Amino acid sequence: MLADAPPLEVETFAALMAPLAPFGPAPHLAVGVSGGPDSLALALLAGAWAAAQGGRVTALTVDHGLRPESAGEARQVAAWMAGAGLDHVTLRWVGPRPAHGLQAAARMARLALMEAWCRAHGVLDLLLAHHAGDQAETVLQRLGQGSGPDGLAGMARVSWRRCVRVLRPVLDQPAGRTRATLAARGHPWIEDPSNADTVFQRVRLRHLAPSLAEAGVSAPGLVLSAARAAEAREERRRRRDARLAATVTFDGLGAAHVNMARLLDGPPSEVRAALGRLLACVGGSERPPRGQPLERLRRRLSEAGPPRGLTLGRCRLLPGADGTWRVCREDRNLPDPMPLPGPEAPPLLWDGRLLVRVAGDGPDPGWALAPLGADGWLDVTRALREIGAEPPTVPVAVRPGLLALISPDGMVSAVPQIGYPVRPVRGLPRLDVERAPGTSLTEGPCRLYGAGDGLSDEEP
């Protein structure tokens, strides 16, 4: 009931944003806005908060094209945002629709489109309007699906998706507060008819909420359980990170060196978590391997007898003579060559692992980024010897996945991870390369290579 739920004031919202810090100076926030009361209220509150910091908000509306009204609704949201002084962009979902699981597929597509827009425009923070009712439904859904303890923690207030930080500032607030916020301002909203369609499981659970509450299973109780499970999840992550910090070091080539015996010495669940995170970091995958493939890897690594090389999660795991294992990017499914972005362009995410920016003046047309590959390594060694330099020692397994800068005539001109440049070329662009946020062992951004100066002293 609106009468039972006070509106969210600007001051209250600022208090909800505070635990999500840090934010950059003059932050540019993206907010997912469908036109419903929750996302509209979030956009208006976030706009006021960002303006107070000298920043701004861009509202992102995804037109799924699932209903005839969707295009008109997106235009209406654009008009409302313009009236509030906020930028607005409509993103469209194109491609085939699944025969089953349409609502889940639409949610995934919406998040992927907004994440891609944020990456393309250099926006770090994406705000979503999930509230306590959504969290309760998520926990019930996952409970019915047999989720483990991490799943029962529900949605996180802060999570990383590659180069984007997803924030849910009103996750612990009752749904009625966003409606009350708009009602207090006299602001209309759009009611999505799919939110009343009982063909969808979430809607059926919503209809069951009063009966569940009478039976003692209330939304606040489910949210509290999720919060406690989230605390336990964070403790497990801290133990995972401590295990990785004690057993893993990175080199400047993006490969990890692992004291495998020590990493494997612990409860299987903790070992699997550490292995999964390690593979996601090295391989650049958005989600770590999990389930049976990860357990099979743990068992094979624990087997007695001569160790053998293994692969999983876009990674190769190779034993060393001293008991240290090297984990590097596998030489399969590497990205195709892609044009080098200009200096004013947002960072380019390469292979899910590296952010690449051009430092200084813009490059001439025709420069590209590509995996070095085996042939590229031969080209590098020839070029270095032609100028009297000896090629650095790089393990054979690591070479194919190195990032290479390709000149307009198709030659390897620079490999930032081994030095800069490989051969003198007129107009050679200077690159600034970092590991992508979400691909470091502790799930944060970190600098890896300097702008045109080869390797830095910092560990990834």
36 is in an annotated binding site: yes
CA distance 230 to 156: 8
Per-residue model confidence (pLDDT) at position 196 = 61
What single letter denotes the amino acid at residue 194? S
Query: With the C-alpha atoms ordered 144, 147, 150, 154, is the resulting torsion angle positive or negative?
Result: negative
CA 146, chain centre distance (Å): 25
pTM: 0.73
CA distance 439 to 284: 6
Going by C-alpha positions, the residue among 334, 352, 363 that lies closest to residue 452 is 363
Q: Give, in degrees to the nearest 5, the angle at Cα 165 between 275 and 269.
A: 20
Per-residue model confidence (pLDDT) at position 193 = 67
Q: Name the region of 452 (left: φ>0; alpha: ψ -120 to 50; beta: rest).
A: left
Per-residue model confidence (pLDDT) at position 440 = 65
User: Which tokens sit at 95?
Assistant: 């491609």
To which residue do tokens 């309760």 refer?
136
Task: Determine the 3-state secondary structure of 331 from DSSP.
Answer: coil
Are the C-beta atoms of 128 and 166 separated by less than 8 Å?
Answer: yes
320 is in an annotated binding site: no
Give 408-415 contacts, CB < 8 A, sequence gap 24+.
408/364, 408/365, 408/366, 408/367, 411/379, 411/383, 412/372, 412/376, 412/379, 412/380, 412/383, 415/372, 415/380
39 is in an annotated binding site: yes
Per-residue pLDDT of the chain (460 residues; tens, 9 = 90+): 444 789 999 999 999 999 999 998 999 999 999 999 999 999 999 999 999 999 999 999 999 887 888 899 999 999 999 999 999 999 998 877 777 777 777 888 888 899 989 988 889 999 999 999 999 888 888 888 787 788 888 999 998 876 789 999 999 999 899 999 999 999 999 987 666 666 667 678 777 777 777 777 788 888 888 889 889 989 999 999 999 999 999 888 989 999 999 999 999 999 999 999 999 999 998 788 888 999 999 999 998 776 788 999 999 999 998 889 999 999 999 999 999 887 777 778 899 898 888 877 777 788 999 999 999 999 899 888 888 888 889 999 999 999 999 999 888 988 988 876 777 777 788 888 887 766 666 544 333 333 232 222 222 2
35 is in an annotated binding site: yes
Per-residue model confidence (pLDDT) at position 437 = 66
Are the C-beta atoms of 345 and 437 separated by less than 8 Å?
Answer: no
Per-residue model confidence (pLDDT) at position 455 = 24
Strands of 105-186 (E only): list them: 125-127, 158-161, 164-167
CA distance 58 to 32: 9
Q: Give, in degrees to the nearest 5, the angle at Cα 31 between 218 and 339.
A: 130
Going by C-alpha positions, the residue among 349, 23, 432, 357 that lies closest to residue 163 is 349
